[in-house]
């Protein structure tokens, strides 16, 4: 875009400042490196990226908003330069004026070209730069596209560079819905025309004061300080060493990080970090604590691993010890330390220990959706554990952790968590040292032991893996632990010239194998384990890998259930067995209604929500009070066997309540089922879903899309339980009716078939007590055996029909479920607003 003599001439020419509250344009001297992003609901919703250059804000309208996914190339249309005073603008531009609509200050911070580049690169059609904002961080690229013939506007592409800040929240603009300045939603800003915070007619100092007042007022309302007690330490779940990776989709697998196991208790700015034994190491990890505190988390208890990276870019235990030894000042404000969180034990004062491993992980994803490096949620894969194990071994890593997807958190060692190691590594107690003939070495080797019962047993020596600093540090510790006699039985040859130690220090040792006599071969010292106590150091022996088999037998596997798809009862059972890990986080522990078709699709299918006991032990019951005052036992399931027991009884579909069995009267899931008239195209339904998402976002609610597997799309709104069913239904009813009144030609909020011609029915009736909605990943009793499938909002555009996936696509659905598109799908910590 050519530079004008007055860079703000175009900005001023487009606006009538007697009508718009926007500031008049004049070149000002700024800080030189400011950036902002404004969410702008004009003719089309977009996000204006503005970078301070030469006293003005260079501007691009990013049509879909910024994405932290490096694979996303977002169209960014160059617009006129804006004045520096625009960097604080938030409010309403009158309709009919240029850019008429609502403007939210969505992000702000500082920017800088990367080394060797400059802002002048914009004139050349590219800019490689870093952002340090609240929501946008790390490296980004702006690249100008080649113009098409006759095209007047200047089109660029905005893309995130793959760095430590890439990924994270896959749908950044869909998750971040409030002003970075005032905490207001778009609806609150738009509705503030005549209120205390109205900016109409405000200029200069008056404008600035009103914005400051709005910020002070709304921040208190929009995001109060996290309330609740800091959770207490609870015993950690420990993994059992096994000899092979468990098979099947009932397991998911994570990298076994080479660091310190940590339990993090947080409530807003109050953060504590505990070791595996409950020692308070908050001070040792102070820089990392500051990063966690900045997230302002609700009361929660997180399980994870703290690591530091070695020179090869991999987590390295020795590097972690070196970082801790240097102290806080040398840690580059915490970036030398990284937290990989992998479990969520408590949230909002409620224990999550009884939930399945994968459901807790999904809730953790939602909780840490705003986290940036050095905090991350550990990635995982479902099934395919052998491939991950082989990759870790090739990379020289320690191994993997395998977790049974539907198992709870027991706080002890069990076979629901397994570890498969690439190398032999164990903890040993240091019981003595051999003197060295070399002057530079304070010792030649160390004697190792482990406890077997109440007895210390000698396990050989280690003489490698020490640098000079480590040897000097150990020598100081040895001087304080000297003893005259051996603390264990050792043969005369091994005890010759040994200086004995009190058995208090624990070391991590890598070794090739144990000899026939029980000593380590080719041992190498890795570091001291001050987070572990000597009394707990016992031999770790590999156990056989468990091979769990379902207790449910599927009879008549060859019976054809879906004639058009030639799919059998066995095929359906195999689908549910495979998909159970990602279905259960949404379907488990909710009262369910089943669509049973014992003879196949379309042959005397019926709903069932009660059970006289014919489903077996894996299908559970919860008594629920009916309208007549009596109680009936409703069905629910907790694990894969529960799903399969229902399939054995002819079930095709699973429909669930909007609440869980442990809090039946507190709904936590709102669903808007978009049911189109037969004459409408699926593209109309997709557009409607996106519009509803936008309307929900304007009032501060994050929502998710799900293909129903039938004709439409479900818009799913997860909520913190705490409100009543009456409020739940009332809100959804008023929301649906408001849409139908605003666009009566598109939407209808009543069930009347006669009035639905050419419209989309917004079915809010799923949100009343006792009503159900189809569960994510449920099969549907329709032609070709389609499935209800969660879908990312960006991916929805490429979907051709609501039944795009079928029960034959379980492998693809599992791969999608753990990908960035669906990370944390269906979970969000948010409350129903008072509207």
For residue 168, is the peptide bond before it cis, meaning its omega torsion is within 30 degrees of 0?
Answer: no
Under DSSP, the state recorded for 329 is: G
Hey, is 168 helix, strand or coil? coil
Q: Please, what sign has the CA dihedral across residues 223, 228, 233, 234?
A: negative
Going by C-alpha positions, the residue among 210, 207, 218 that lies closest to residue 178 is 218
Pair 254, 342: CB distance under 8 Å: yes
User: What is the rounded CA–CA span in Å between residue 447 and residue 438?
Assistant: 18
| Whether 768 contacts 648, CB under 8 Å | no
Q: For 422, which DSSP code?
A: S
Give the 3-state DSSP-derived string for 105-167, with helices as H, strands as E and coil as C.
EEEEEEEEECCCCCHHHHHHCEEEEEEEECCCEEEEEEEECCCCCCCCCEEEEEEECCCCCCC
Residue 750 to residue 482: CA distance in whole angstroms: 84
For 21, 49, 57, 384, 464, the CA distances from 85, given in Å and listed in that order, are: 12, 15, 9, 54, 63
Please choose, from the candidates 579, 600, 583, 604, the residue with its C-alpha nearest in 3D space to the C-alpha of residue 592. 583
State the DSSP H helix or E strand holding residue 827, giving kind and residue range, or none if neither.
none
- Tell me if 209 sits within 8 A of 64, measured CB to CB: no
CA distance 446 to 588: 52
β-strand partners of 62: 47, 76
Core vs surface per residue 297-314: b (16+ CB within 10 A) or e: bbbbbbbbbbbbbbeeeb
Sign of torsion over alpha carbons 727, 732, 734, 735: positive
DSSP track, 748-806: E-S--TGGGTTSEEEE-GGGSTT--EEPTT-B-SSTT-BB-EEE-HHHHTT---TT--B
The answer to whether the beta carbons of residues 42 and 101 sit under 8 Å apart is yes
The whole-angstrom separation of Cα 380 and Cα 588 is: 21
C-beta separation of 750 from 765 below 8 A: no
**Helical spans, DSSP H, in 305-369:** 317-326, 357-367
Active site residue 256: yes
Which residue in 342, 326, 235 sits closest to 284, CA to CA?
326
User: How many CA atoms within 13 Å lie on the side-chain side of 567?
Assistant: 23
Tokens 């060797």 sit on residue = 116
477: helix, strand or coil: helix
For 20, which DSSP code?
A: -
Strands 350-351 and 45-53: unpaired
Phi, psi of 462 (to 5 degrees): -130, 130
CA dist 362 and 352 (Å) reads: 12
SS3 of residue 25 by DSSP? coil
**H or E segment at 585?**
helix 569-587
Catalytic entry in 58, 160, 256, 372: 256
Residues 6+ apart with CB under 8 A from 360: 343, 344, 345, 352, 409
Cα(129)–Cα(141) distance, rounded to whole angstroms? 6
To the nearest 10 degrees (0 to 180), the angle between helices 357-367 and 569-587 is: 50
Annotated catalytic residues are 256
């Amino acid at each position: 875009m050519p530079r004008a003599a007055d860079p703000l001439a175009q900005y001023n020419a487009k606006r009538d400042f007697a009508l718009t509250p926007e500031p008049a344009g004049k070149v000002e001297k700024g800080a030189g490196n400011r950036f902002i992003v404004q969410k702008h609901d004009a003719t089309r919703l977009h996000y204006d990226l503005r970078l301070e250059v030469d006293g003005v804000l260079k501007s691009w309208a990013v049509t879909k908003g910024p994405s932290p996914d490096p694979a996303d190339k977002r169209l960014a249309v160059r617009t006129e330069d804006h004045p520096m005073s625009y960097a604080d603008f938030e409010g309403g531009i009158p309709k009919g004026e240029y850019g008429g609509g609502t403007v939210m200050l969505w992000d702000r911070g500082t920017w800088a070209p990367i080394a060797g580049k400059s802002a002048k690169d914009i004139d050349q059609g590219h800019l490689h730069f870093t952002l340090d904002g609240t929501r946008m961080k790390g490296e980004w690229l702006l690249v100008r596209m080649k113009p098409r013939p006759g095209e007047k506007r200047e089109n660029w592409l905005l893309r995130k560079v793959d760095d430590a800040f890439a990924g994270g929240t896959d749908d950044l603009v869909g998750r971040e819905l409030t002003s970075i300045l005032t905490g207001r939603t778009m609806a609150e800003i738009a509705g503030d025309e005549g209120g205390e915070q109205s900016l109409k007619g405000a200029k200069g100092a008056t404008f600035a004061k009103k914005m400051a007042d709005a910020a002070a007022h709304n921040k208190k309302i929009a995001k109060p300080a996290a309330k609740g007690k800091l959770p207490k330490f609870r015993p950690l779940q420990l993994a059992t060493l096994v000899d092979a990776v468990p098979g099947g989709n009932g397991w998911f697998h994570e990298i076994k990080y080479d660091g310190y196991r940590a339990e993090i208790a947080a409530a807003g700015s109050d953060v504590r970090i505990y070791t595996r034994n409950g020692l308070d190491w908050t001070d040792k990890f102070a820089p990392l604590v500051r990063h966690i505190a900045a997230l302002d988390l609700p009361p929660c208890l997180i399980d994870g691993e703290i690591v530091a990276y070695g020179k090869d870019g991999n987590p390295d235990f020795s590097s972690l010890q070196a970082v801790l030894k240097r102290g806080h000042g040398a840690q580059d404000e915490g970036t030398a330390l990284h937290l990989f969180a992998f479990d969520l034990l408590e949230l909002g004062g409620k224990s999550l220990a009884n939930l399945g491993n994968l459901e807790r992980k999904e809730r953790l994803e939602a909780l840490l959706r705003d986290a940036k490096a050095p905090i991350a949620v550990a990635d995982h894969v479902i099934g395919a554990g052998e491939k991950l194990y082989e990759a870790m071994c090739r990379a020289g890593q320690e191994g993997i952790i395998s977790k049974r997807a539907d198992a709870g958190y027991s706080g002890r060692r069990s076979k629901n968590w397994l570890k498969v190691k690439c190398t032999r590594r164990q903890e040993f107690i240091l019981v003595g040292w051999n003197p060295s003939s070399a002057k530079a070495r304070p010792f030649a080797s160390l004697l190792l032991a482990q406890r077997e019962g109440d007895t210390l047993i000698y396990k050989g020596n280690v003489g490698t893996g020490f640098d000079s600093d480590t040897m000097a540090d150990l020598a100081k510790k040895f001087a304080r632990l000297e003893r005259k006699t051996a603390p264990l039985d050792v043969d005369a040859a091994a005890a010759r010239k040994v200086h004995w130690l009190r058995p208090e220090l624990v070391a991590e040792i890598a070794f090739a194998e144990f000899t026939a006599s029980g000593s380590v071969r080719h041992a190498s010292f890795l570091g001291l384990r001050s987070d572990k106590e000597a009394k707990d150091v016992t031999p770790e022996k590999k156990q056989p890998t468990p091979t769990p088999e379902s207790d449910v037998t599927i009879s008549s596997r060859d019976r054809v259930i879906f004639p058009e798809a030639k799919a059998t009862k066995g095929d359906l059972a195999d689908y549910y067995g495979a998909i159970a890990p990602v279905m259960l986080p949404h379907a488990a522990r909710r009262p369910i209604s089943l669509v049973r078709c014992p003879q196949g699709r379309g042959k005397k299918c019926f709903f069932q929500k009660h059970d006289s006991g014919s489903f077996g032990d894996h299908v559970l019951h919860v008594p629920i009070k009916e309208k007549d005052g009596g109680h009936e036992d409703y069905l629910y399931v907790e694990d894969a066997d529960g799903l399969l027991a229902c399939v054995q009884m002819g079930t095709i579909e699973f429909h669930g309540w909007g609440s869980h069995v442990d809090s039946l009267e507190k709904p936590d899931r709102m669903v808007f089922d978009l049911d189109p008239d037969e004459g409408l195209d699926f593209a109309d339904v997709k557009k409607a879903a996106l519009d509803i998402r936008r309307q929900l976002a304007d009032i501060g609610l994050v929502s998710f899309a799900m293909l129903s597997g039938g004709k439409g799309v479900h818009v799913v709104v997860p909520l913190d339980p705490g409100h009543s069913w009456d409020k739940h239904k009332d809100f959804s009813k008023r929301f649906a009716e408001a849409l139908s009144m605003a666009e009566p030609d598109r939407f209808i909020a009543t069930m009347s078939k006669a009035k639905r011609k050419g419209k989309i029915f917004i079915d809010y009736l799923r949100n009343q007590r006792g009503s159900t909605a189809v569960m994510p990943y449920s099969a549907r009793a329709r032609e070709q055996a389609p499935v209800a499938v969660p879908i990312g909002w960006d991916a929805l555009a490429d979907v051709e029909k609501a039944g795009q996936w079928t029960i034959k696509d379980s492998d693809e659905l599992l791969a999608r479920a753990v990908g960035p598109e669906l990370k944390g799908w269906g979970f969000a910590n948010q409350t129903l607003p008072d509207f």
